[in-house]
Every structure is written in C-alpha cells, then in structure tokens.
C-alpha cells in the first residue's frame, strides 16, 4: 500500500516535501491510525495545528452543520461567524480589529502591508523597513520568505523583497545597529519554532520595547506557532508586559481547517480601507465555525492551566531521561548532540508508534494537541527513552 503511494506521488506531485513513509487514515484524540491500522501517539499535531486533537466531537458537529448550510459566499457579503471569531480574538487580546486570511504566510504578508500603509498614510512613506531576526521563520511567500532571516530558505529565490533588514536574535547590540531612519517595525516570534524552539530572552524583549517606543516603531509579533494556547496563554505575548501593534495567527486557530488572522490595534487596522487588501477564501464559513470552536475550548475555564501543567510535566519527563528541554507550555524542544540525528530519532520513533517533529539544525520538537494528558506524555517519554538507549 505505502510503496504504491510513494510511486504514485512521485509521478503526480511536485517533489517539494521529504515525507515519512506513512499515510494516516483516521485519528481519535491524540492518536492517529495509518492505512495498515497501526496506531501512533501524536506529539506533533500536524505541526502545532491540531489544537483539539482528532475527531473532536464539537469540531465535527460545527463543521457538519455548517457544510449542510453554506461553505463559501465571498467577502462581498456579511459573514456572521467572522464577527463572532473576531469578537473572541479582540476580547481576549490587546488588539482591536481582525482581518482573516488562510495561512501563516498570508497573515504575515498582510502584516507587512499594514506596516507600510500605516507609515504611508502618516505621510512617512520613507519609513518602510521591517527588522526581523536570524533563526526566525515567517513563511514561504516572497514577502514572508524575505522576513525569514535564514539563508537556506532563500537559495535560488532571489531577488527578495526590498525593505527587510536582519538583526541577530537575542542580541540587543545587533538590533540597535540595524535600526535606521527608515525603520518602521520590528517583527519576531516569542519562541522561534522552525528555527529550533528558541525562546526570546526577556531582556532582549525589553530592548525591543524600548527602541520601539523611542523610535516610534510598530511591534509585530508572529504568533502563528506560539498562539492559540500553545504556550499556556492564548498568545505568547501575554506572558510578558508588552502590547504588540500587530499579532499574526494561523496554525492552531482552525484546529486543522486552514485559517489565518491578523489582529491589530485600531490606529493600524484602519489604514486597510476597502480595496487595499483582501482574500477570496479569507474568513470562509468552514474556517470560521472551526476557529470559533477552537477558541471557545481553549478559552474555557481550566484549559490553559492544564496546558501549563502538562508542559511542565513533559519537560520533567524529558529531563528524567537525560535531555535538556527548552520552550514553554506545549511547545518544547530538545537539542540533540551532533552524534545523534534528530531526523533519525523522529524516523525511529515513528516505527515505534510515536510522532515527534524536528526543527532548527538538530532539535526534536514536541507540539502535541493541547488536549494531551499525562499518561500520553508518559507513553511518549518511555518510547523516547528506549530509542535513546
């Protein structure tokens, strides 16, 4: 079965993914089942996407009911569930207004356009530069790819977008040196996900805040991976004393249904007047009813407390088997020594029925569904312990 799939895929699909030799057929809670009926414990959640795991009854019910009524109408008309989801996002963040799109890259593209238009409307079109950081990841479209300060992703795709400058992550001096009179915004992740689960240094965050205030720069936080409860708060910025001007979200927001969002302060949001930006599918009925269920569940009493507890429990388990975890909430990474390949471990884990991710150069990544329980974490640690021996 799988060998046949591998051959057919080679024949018909563009080969831009290095896939594991597994195809899943169904899922239940934190478990997935492949086409041969083999069961897997999922500590990757579709790369931090499946917030509520698989076959969540409320998500299924909401989607089923919506499918029977309407799937798509376009943004030429009012879409009531967009208002409901936006209200939930606004009431639970420092943002005032929301724009919906379909992915993380699109959310970051919209953020870049917002920054430019904000200063343009202020009569400062000369202020358009955005500073991003080494090791960051913001997406694969040309704008978001340019914002991604990792040369390996740029190879072969130049020329990139103008007006994006890089500073070294967690290095205040580097940031100060990169600021110019043209600087308009600073854009970053609180925990660099694809870059290797690298948390921001709180001191560095202070520097960002100070400089942004002093130079009147916008603060854009890419919460595509860290958002929607992943770190134990709805958004990671809520762990700190900071109010970003623009927050981008995607991945976990739809619980598996594609959706992205930009949440912005009023002063910034209002520059996107009719005709300046848009998306055919953005805020589609299916995406919206899914996002509503996800947000309601994540915001329910006690949910995020459990994410924090289980995150600590996961880190304790990793320490017990001799590893040094980093990150927080249910966004945890472990750097492996050069002698052990993270990719190899992920492959071997899969054979043992455990799905883990990799990130950065040699980091194992744990971003399980947020509904994971302690017994699942025990199971994952046991399998890993066996593999590392």
Ligand X SMILES: *Cc1c(COP(=O)(O)O)cnc(C)c1O
Is residue 170 at the binding interface for ligand X, with CB under 6 A as the rule?
no
Q: Does 138 bind ligand X (CB under 6 A)?
A: yes
Minimum CB distance to ligand X, residue 191 (Å): 9
Binding of residue 186 to ligand X (CB under 6 A): no
Q: Contacting ligand X (CB under 6 A), which of 81, 95, 143, 193? A: 193
Which CB sits closer to ligand X, 47 or 308? 47
Stretch of residues binding ligand X (CB under 6 A), selected from 101-109, 126-134, 298-306, 378-386:
101-109
Q: How many C-beta neighbours within 10 Å does residue 62 have?
A: 23
Measured from the CB of residue 378, what is the shortest distance to ligand X in angstroms? 28
Task: Choose the binding region for ligand X from 4-12, 97-105, 205-213, 272-280 (rule: CB under 6 A).
Answer: 97-105
> Nearer to ligand X by C-beta: 31 or 137?
137
Q: What are phi and psi of 235, to 5 degrees?
A: -125, 145
- The number of residues that bind ligand X (CB under 6 A) is 15
Q: Which stretch binds ligand X (CB under 6 A): 132-140, 172-180, 328-336, 367-375?
A: 132-140
Q: Does 189 bind ligand X (CB under 6 A)?
A: yes
Kindly state the smallest distance separating residue 325's Cβ from ligand X, in Å.
19
- Name which of 191 and 381 has its Cβ closer to ligand X: 191
Nearest distance, CB of residue 350 and ligand X, angstroms: 21
Q: Can residue 109 be called a binding residue for ligand X (CB under 6 A)?
A: no
Q: What are the residues facing 332 on neighbouring strands? A: 327, 366
Does residue 104 bind ligand X (CB under 6 A)?
A: yes
194 binds ligand X (CB under 6 A): yes
CB of 385 to ligand X, least distance (A): 28
Tell me the window of 75-83, 100-108, 203-211, 359-367 that interacts with ligand X (CB under 6 A): 100-108
Task: From residue 262, give the alpha-carbon distance in Å to each of 29, 227, 254.
Answer: 29, 12, 14
Work out whether 250 is an interface residue with ligand X (CB under 6 A): yes
Task: Give the residue with the Cβ less far from ligand X, 145 or 384.
Answer: 145
Shortest-Cβ-distance residue relative to ligand X = 104
202-241 residues in contact with ligand X (CB under 6 A) are 222, 224-225
Select the span of 58-66, 98-106, 340-348, 379-387 touching ligand X (CB under 6 A): 98-106
Q: How far is CA 135 from CA 130, 141, 160, 260, 359, in A?
A: 16, 17, 17, 22, 11
- Does 105 bind ligand X (CB under 6 A)? Our answer is yes
> Are the beta carbons of 240 and 219 closer than 8 angstroms?
no
CA distances from 114 to 128, 145, 150, 248, 280 (A): 10, 17, 23, 12, 18
Site string for ligand X, 260-299 (x = CB under 6 A): ----------------------------------------
> Site for ligand X (CB under 6 A): which residue of 51, 103, 132, 249?
103
If one asks whether residue 50 binds ligand X (CB under 6 A), the answer comes out as: no
Applying CB under 6 A, the residues found at the interface with ligand X are 103-105, 108, 137-139, 189, 193-194, 222, 224-225, 250-251
């Amino acid at each position: 079965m799988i060998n046949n799939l591998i051959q057919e895929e080679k024949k018909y699909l563009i080969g831009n993914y290095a896939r594991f030799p597994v195809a899943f057929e169904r899922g239940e809670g934190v478990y997935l089942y492949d086409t041969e009926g083999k069961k897997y414990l999922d500590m990757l959640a579709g790369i931090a996407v499946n917030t509520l795991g698989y076959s969540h009854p409320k998500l299924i019910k909401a989607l089923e009911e919506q499918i029977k009524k309407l799937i798509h109408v376009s943004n030429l008309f009012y879409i009531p569930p967009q208002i409901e989801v936006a209200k939930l996002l606004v009431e639970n963040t420092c943002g005032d207004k929301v724009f919906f799109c379909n992915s993380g890259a699109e959310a970051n593209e919209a953020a870049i356009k917002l920054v430019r238009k904000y200063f343009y409307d202020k009569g400062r079109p000369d202020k358009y530069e955005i500073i991003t950081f080494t090791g960051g990841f913001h997406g694969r479209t040309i704008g978001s790819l340019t914002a991604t300060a990792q040369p390996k992703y740029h190879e072969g795709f130049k020329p990139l977008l103008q007006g994006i400058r890089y500073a070294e992550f967690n290095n205040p001096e580097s940031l100060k040196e990169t600021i110019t009179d043209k600087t308009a915004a600073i854009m970053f992740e609180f925990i660099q996900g694809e870059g290797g689960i690298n948390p921001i240094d709180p001191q560095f965050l202070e520097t960002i805040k100070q400089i942004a205030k002093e130079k009147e720069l916008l603060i854009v936080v890419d919460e595509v991976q860290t958002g929607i409860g992943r770190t134990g708060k709805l958004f990671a910025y809520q762990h700190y004393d900071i109010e970003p001007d623009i927050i981008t979200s995607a991945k976990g927001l739809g619980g598996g249904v594609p959706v992205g969002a930009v949440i912005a302060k009023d002063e910034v949001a209002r520059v996107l007047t009719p005709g300046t930006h848009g998306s055919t599918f953005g805020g589609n009925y299916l995406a919206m009813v899914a996002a509503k269920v996800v947000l309601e569940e994540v915001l329910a009493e006690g949910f995020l407390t459990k994410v924090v507890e289980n995150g600590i429990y996961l880190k304790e388990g990793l320490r017990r088997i001799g590893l040094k975890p980093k990150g927080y909430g249910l966004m945890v990474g472990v750097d492996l020594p050069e002698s052990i390949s993270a990719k190899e471990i992920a492959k071997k884990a899969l054979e043992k029925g455990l799905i883990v991710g990799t990130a950065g150069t040699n980091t194992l990544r744990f971003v399980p569904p947020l509904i994971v329980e302690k017994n699942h974490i025990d199971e994952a640690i046991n399998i890993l312990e066996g593999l590392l021996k």
